[in-house]
């Protein structure tokens, strides 16, 4: 059976991008061999408000359930509840080279941004982040990692680290691969369609939150940036705004962007239909989230049970990796 692992950071609410690029595929991939993780340790690469981090961790776990992940089938848990993640991360840091870590696009972007706007502070964790992500994946003998396009490079590095470790110390890790579904793999900002729609980005008008109110969603889509030519065509390089709307409409209605473009000659009707499709897609998730959020104790219970199930596999893999590198086992 295929083992599936994926994770999401509890930094700001989930967006339409993280839903179309990842969460809805997690629902399709679920089964007893699927693990879905709120990766709270990954949030710490930038300073966090502790009260908010705790609330967002629980809120994101609630979102996993609200989109349709069934904790009686898949494993839903919080990364820091399974200490093996941090332990294996050290072995992965020692397997990765500084050059590899520096070449990661996300590190380059985020460290530049931190240097410009964040008072020059770039944490060491921002550089070593992909080693922790590799640990997350490798701990569970993962075959497939369903992610959006922006995480492809990190999964590639995970593969390289697994192969390197296996060749240095003997067969220890399963070599995983990213599964990036084309529809919705890269949802762009509605106000700046050349950049990814991002929860941590400061672009409220360009970002649709998964739990946003329908009126606000429709307004943002209707105000989305398009371009000066008036024709409706899917061509991301010359028409990024229109193509983004077509991708969203297509992913929300199960078509290709080219097929979604058929029949439109003007931007107005395209925007109206995209807004309707997104509102219809997200309304049941919002309703379910409200129900689940009324019983946080139940979400805690689910997370505790999930961590216990996850720990079993994690402990076995970590023990194998410790033995492989020559760490003396305690008596
Ligand atoms: P994160 O938390 O930024 O995003 C979670 C998932 O959502 C996808 N995504 C998008 N897909 C399409 N369009 C968008 N605009 C968009 N925004 C986000 C991301 O590709 C991702 O799949 N490093 C990871 C978290 C992580 C992880 C892991 C993932 C930690 N350990 C192990 C997989 C396996 C991250 O920051 O994702």
CA atoms of 86 and 136, how far apart (whole Å): 9
Are 43 and 141 part of one and the same domain?
Answer: yes
With respect to residue 192, please indicate whether it lies within any of the assigned structural domains.
Answer: no
Would the CB of 131 count as within 6 Å of ligand 1?
Answer: no
Are 173 and 253 part of one and the same domain?
Answer: no
Would the CB of 104 count as within 6 Å of ligand 1?
Answer: no
Are 48 and 164 part of one and the same domain?
Answer: yes
Tokens coding 264: 């439109």
Region of residue 209 (left: phi > 0; alpha: psi -120 to 50; beta: else): beta
Are 163 and 38 part of one and the same domain?
Answer: yes
Are 126 and 214 part of one and the same domain?
Answer: no
DSSP string, 248-282: HHHHHHTS-HHHHHTT--SHHHHHHHHHHHHHHHH
Would the CB of 21 count as within 6 Å of ligand 1?
Answer: yes
Are 168 and 303 part of one and the same domain?
Answer: yes
With respect to residue 94, please indicate whether it lies within any of the assigned structural domains.
Answer: yes
pTM of the model: 0.97
Are 147 and 244 part of one and the same domain?
Answer: no
With respect to residue 31, please indicate whether it lies within any of the assigned structural domains.
Answer: yes
Catalytic residues: 110, 196, 199
For the chain, 331 residues long, give each residue's pLDDT as a single digit of tens: 899 999 999 998 899 999 999 999 999 999 999 999 999 999 999 999 999 999 999 999 999 999 999 999 999 999 999 999 999 999 999 999 999 999 999 999 988 887 776 678 899 999 999 999 999 999 999 999 999 999 999 999 999 999 999 999 999 999 999 999 988 999 999 999 999 999 756 789 999 999 999 999 999 999 999 988 888 999 999 999 999 999 999 999 999 999 999 999 999 999 999 999 999 999 999 999 999 999 999 999 999 999 999 999 999 999 999 999 999 998 8
* DSSP letter (8 states) at residue 68: T
Question: Ligand 1 centroid to 88 CA: how many Å?
Answer: 20
Question: Ligand 1 centroid to 330 CA: how many Å?
Answer: 37
Would the CB of 136 count as within 6 Å of ligand 1?
Answer: yes
Q: Domain with 67 in it: what CATH number? A: 3.40.50.620
How many C-beta atoms lie closer than 10 Å to residue 326's C-beta?
A: 7
Question: Ligand 1 centroid to 102 CA: how many Å?
Answer: 19
Are 87 and 152 part of one and the same domain?
Answer: yes
Are 160 and 18 part of one and the same domain?
Answer: yes
CA atoms of 53 and 65, how far apart (whole Å): 19
Are 315 and 283 part of one and the same domain?
Answer: no
With respect to residue 189, please indicate whether it lies within any of the assigned structural domains.
Answer: no
Closest Cα to residue 160, out of 74, 96, 223, 216? Answer: 96
CA atoms of 193 and 276, how far apart (whole Å): 20
pLDDT of residue 251: 96
Which ligand 1 atom lies nearest to the CA of residue 196? 15
pLDDT of residue 230: 81
Ligand 1 pocket: which of 64, 126, 148 to mutate (most atoms within 8 A of CB): 148
Decide: helix, strand or coil at residue 72. coil
* HSE, side-chain direction, 13 A CA sphere, residue 222: 11
Beta-bridged to residue 209, according to DSSP, are 15
Are 150 and 137 part of one and the same domain?
Answer: yes
With respect to residue 194, please indicate whether it lies within any of the assigned structural domains.
Answer: no
CA atoms of 94 and 165, how far apart (whole Å): 10
Q: Domain with 243 in it: what CATH number? A: 1.10.240.10
Ligand 1 pocket: which of 20, 21, 129 to mutate (most atoms within 8 A of CB): 21
Would the CB of 33 count as within 6 Å of ligand 1?
Answer: no
Region of residue 141 (left: phi > 0; alpha: psi -120 to 50; beta: else): left
pLDDT of residue 228: 81
Ligand 1 pocket: which of 16, 17, 22 to mutate (most atoms within 8 A of CB): 22
Are 31 and 108 part of one and the same domain?
Answer: yes
With respect to residue 199, please indicate whether it lies within any of the assigned structural domains.
Answer: no
Residue numbers of the domain that contains 237: 204-290
Which ranges in 23-143 belong to alpha helices (H)?
24-29, 50-66, 84-93, 98-102, 105-117, 124-138
With respect to residue 193, please indicate whether it lies within any of the assigned structural domains.
Answer: no
**How many domains does the chain divide into?**
2
With respect to residue 195, please indicate whether it lies within any of the assigned structural domains.
Answer: no
């Amino acid at each position: 059976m295929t083992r599936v692992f994926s994770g999401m950071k509890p930094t700001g609410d989930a967006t339409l991008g993280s839903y179309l690029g990842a969460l809805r595929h997690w629902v399709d991939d679920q089964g007893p061999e699927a693990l879905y993780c709120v990766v709270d340790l990954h949030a710490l690469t930038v300073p966090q408000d502790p009260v908010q981090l705790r609330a967002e961790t629980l809120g994101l776990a609630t979102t996993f359930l609200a989109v349709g992940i069934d904790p009686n089938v898949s494993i839903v848990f919080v990364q820091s509840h399974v200490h093996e993640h941090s332990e294996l991360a050290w072995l992965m840091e020692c397997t990765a080279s500084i050059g590899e870590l520096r070449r990661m696009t996300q590190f380059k972007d985020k460290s530049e941004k931190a240097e410009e706007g964040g008072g020059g502070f770039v944490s060491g964790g921002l550089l070593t982040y992909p080693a922790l992500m590799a640990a997350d994946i490798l701990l569970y003998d993962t075959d497939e990692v369903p992610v959006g396009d922006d995480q492809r490079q990190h999964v590639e590095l995970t593969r390289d680290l697994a192969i390197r470790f296996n060749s240095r110390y003997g067969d220890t890790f399963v070599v995983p691969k990213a599964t990036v579904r084309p529809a919705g793999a890269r949802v762009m900002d509605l106000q700046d369609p050349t950049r990814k729609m991002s929860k941590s980005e400061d672009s409220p008008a360009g970002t649709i939150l998964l739990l946003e109110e329908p009126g606000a969603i429709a307004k943002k889509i209707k105000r989305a940036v398009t371009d000066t030519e008036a024709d409706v065509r899917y061509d991301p390089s010359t028409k990024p705004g229109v193509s983004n709307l077509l991708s969203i409409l297509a992913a929300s209605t199960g078509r290709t962007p080219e097929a979604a473009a058929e029949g439109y000659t003007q931007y107005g009707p395209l925007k109206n239909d995209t807004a309707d499709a997104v509102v219809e897609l997200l309304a049941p998730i919002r309703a379910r989230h409200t129900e689940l959020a009324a019983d946080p104790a139940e979400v805690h219970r689910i997370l505790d049970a999930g961590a216990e199930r996850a720990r079993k596999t994690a402990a076995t893999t970590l023990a194998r990796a410790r033995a492989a590198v020559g760490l003396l086992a305690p008596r």
